[in-house]
Structure 1
Amino acid sequence: MLRLPVSLMSPGGASARLSILIFHRVLPAHDPLNPDEPDAGEFEQRMRWVRSWFDVLPLGEAVQRLRENRLPARAMSITFDDGYADNEAVAAPILQRLGLPATFFISTGYLDGGCMWNDRVIEAVRHCSDAMLDLTPLGLAAYPLTTPAQRRAAVVAILNGIKHLDPAQRARRTTQIVVACGDRPSPALMMSGDQLRRLRASGMEIGAHTVTHPILTRLDLESARSEMAEGKAALERLLGEPVSLFAYPNGVPGQDYAAEHARLARECGFEAAVSTAWGAARAGTDLFQLPRFTPWDRSRLRFGARLLANLARRQIRFA
């Protein structure tokens, strides 16, 4: 049983540790171009393991308890980034059925029919009819597309090749890639405003994730402030309530955000912010650089071992 070692490594009170899981999508069925995203069956299985081992709290409540040294033993929060429609349609019903709360961080610019740049690339490669996709004129490479594995490899290489361009250049390059793949319309993968309101009405928590999901270190500070503040304001207008939690896009400390962005999060009125650095929060952890991670293992034993290993990680101040 994992419950005992988790209790020993994640006790309550002043010595407590908070594990925060991060997900993006939960798919109706397995997708070879998104193999790291769990399908509904895999996600439910993992959440059943989590429920048997941890005391799952809404992130806002967990942050408050962490601040006051009142976290229970085996404390965990579950989060989702970006605002995919399958969060409301697939993931939320599973969480509700299991009695598990979660927090959903939304990039507001993609609500109501949007498709993020990475998904535009994935879907373009998925539907490209050519056996070879030549992107050498765009400073990339030529990619064979005759098998699902080759398409997946092409997706990974292309995304890595344009991920850290400045937002305007990345948007142009994405459009050029879509055109090279046949210029098909990108699907609407993100939530609608109505879905977001239903998600909140069901008891789930909503946090901000900027407007257009930029890499904050690629922006000047005023543009970063605008992305953070406007995303927060848009959600507050939509939901009619304060939004107090923020997730840094991509979230790698020192690479995707820096100390000045943690300061901006405070100035924008957030009460806490999450990164994508692994580890578990504890007393003294910067509440504006809370660590999160995703155990990707499919077996119960390996999934549990990954959770324990994450609890054992040293606490680090990142920025």
Structure 2
Amino acid sequence: MNKSKIPQVLMYHGVVSSEAAIPPDREAGAELYDLDVQKFQEQMQFIRDRGRRVVTLEEEESLGGQDIVMTFDDGEMNNFQKAFPILRAFNFPAYFFVTVSRVGKKGYMGWEELMELRDAGMLIGSHGLDHEILTNLTAKKVQRELVESKAALERHLKVNVEYFSVPRGFYNQTVMEIAAAAGYKKIFISQPQGSLGANCLARIAVKGDWSLRRFEMALEGKTPPEEALFNSSKSIIKNIIGGSGYDRLRTLLLKKRQ
């Protein structure tokens, strides 16, 4: 895809309110990405008011850099209960990336909800079988995560599953090659694209504490200096101690904050 035609991709997780379903088995830090339903509504209205198109990658011939692609990771029930009605009201399409082993569990969408999303024109993609850090796994286990999750989604939903969202932000060339061999057309990541190829799409991770102005800055391609420094430091630490080491450190620090 020509760089000038690459849309901005937004990454959401939980869209919540006081009565929204929250899964009990989330990883530490998941709440940082929980967005209040009213904020989500305001963000969608902002996109509409600015005249930005919300599109799917199937519209490749007409895509532009001002277009927006919406994605939701993990398959939480609050996506169906809270985000889906708002998306439908705005007539915005979106991609929902599902962790297959969690389908139907407490706080997560079941096959019935996923079918309703499908029937409404939403696109369903894989988020793996078990939400594993893929760079910690052998190539054989990575293949299982990607191939079996794809097969399960296709079997239950009767659709071609062509998109994969990397769980927990850790990937490497091996993961990318296995994803391509498994038949995924695009791999959604959560970091700058680097040199991992044209089939990767970087995303903007929307956080729960963002003001509307911070959201606007993201759509303008801007990051506050202190946030950019933090992100850079985080990337350096990840590279030094690896995926499992970083995950343990992050979990420990987040638990101390609680």
Q: Give the TM-score of the pair, scaled to structure 1.
A: 0.61
Q: Which of 17, 20, 24 is the equivalent residue of 2:13?
A: 24
- Which of the residues 53, 56, 65 maps onto 2:54? 56
> Structure 1 residues 52, 40: CA separation in 2 closer, same or farther (over 3 Å shift)?
same
Does the Cα contact within 8 Å between 1:55 and 1:73 map onto a contact in 2?
no
Alpha-carbon distance change, 14 to 36 in structure 1, aligned in 2, over 3 angstroms: closer
Residues 276-287 of structure 1: matches in 2 within 5 Å? 276-278=190-192, 286-287=197-198
Task: Name the counterpart of 2:151.
Answer: 233
- 1:36–1:226 CA distance, 2 compared to 1 (3 A): closer
Give the alignment partner of residue 71 of structure 2, picking from 79, 94, 98.
79
CA contact (8 A) 1:26 1:91 kept: yes
Alignment of 1:94-243 (within 5 A): 94-113=86-105, 188-243=106-161
Q: Which runs of 5+ in 1 are unaligned?
A: 1-12, 114-187, 314-319
May I ask how many residue pairs the two structures share in their alignment? Answer: 212
1:43 and 1:300 map into 2 onto residues whose CA distance is 10
Letter in 1 for 2:142: A
Q: Cα distance, 1:29 vs. partner?
A: 3.1
For 2:188, which of 261, 268, 274 is the aligned residue?
A: 274
Give CA-to-partner distance per residue, 1:79-126, whole Å, 9 cap, x none: 00011011111110010001111100001000111xxxxxxxxxxxxx
The 1-side partners of 2:117 and 2:192 are apart by 27
Q: 1:278, CA displacement in angstroms?
A: 4.5
C-alpha distance 310-229 of structure 1, shift in aligned 2 (>3 A):
farther
Shift of 1:286: 2.7
| 1:308 aligns to 2:220 (yes or no) | yes
1:278–1:293: 8 Å Cα contact kept in structure 2? no
Higher percent of residues as helix: 2
SS in 2 for 1:309: coil
Distance 2:183 2:64 in 1: 27
Query: Is contact 1:273-1:290 (8 Å) kept?
Result: yes
The one of 37, 42, 52 aligned to 1:40: 37
After superposition, the Cα gap between the structure-2 partners of 1:71 and 1:84, relative to the gap in structure 1 and judged at 3 Å, is same
Matched residues in 1 for 2:3 and 2:145: separation? 35
Match of 1:293 among 204, 229, 249: 204
TM superposition shift of 1:18: 1.4
Partner residue of 1:258? Answer: 172
Q: Which has the larger radius of gyration?
A: 1
The alpha carbon displacement at 1:298 in A equals 4.0
Shift in CA distance, 191/285, structure 1 to aligned 2, threshold 3 Å: same
SS at 2:16 equivalent: coil
Per-residue CA deviation, residues 195-241 of structure 1 (Å, 9 max, x unaligned), is 11111111111011111010001100001001100000000001112
Contact 1:265–1:288 (CA<8 Å) still a contact in 2?
A: no
Percentage of pairs with the same residue: 30
Per-residue deviation, residues 222-271 of structure 1 (Å, max 9, x unmatched): 010011000000000011121000011112xxxx1100110001100111
CA contact (8 A) 2:13 2:33 kept: no
Over 3 Å counting, the alpha-carbon distance change for 1:112 and 1:285 in structure 2 is same
CA contact (8 A) 2:15 2:35 kept: yes
Residues 16 and 71, structure 1, Cα contact 8 Å, conserved in 2: yes
Match of 1:150 in 2: none
| Counterpart-to-counterpart distance in 2, 1:85 and 1:221 | 31
What is the rounded CA distance, in whole Å, between the counterparts of 1:190 and 1:197 in structure 2? 14
Does structure 1 conserve the Cα–Cα contact (< 8 Å) formed by 2:97 and 2:165?
A: yes
SS of residue matched to 1:56: coil
1:16 and 1:221, CA in 2 relative to 1: closer, same or farther beyond 3 A? Answer: same
Contact 1:51 1:100 (8 Å CA) reproduced:
no
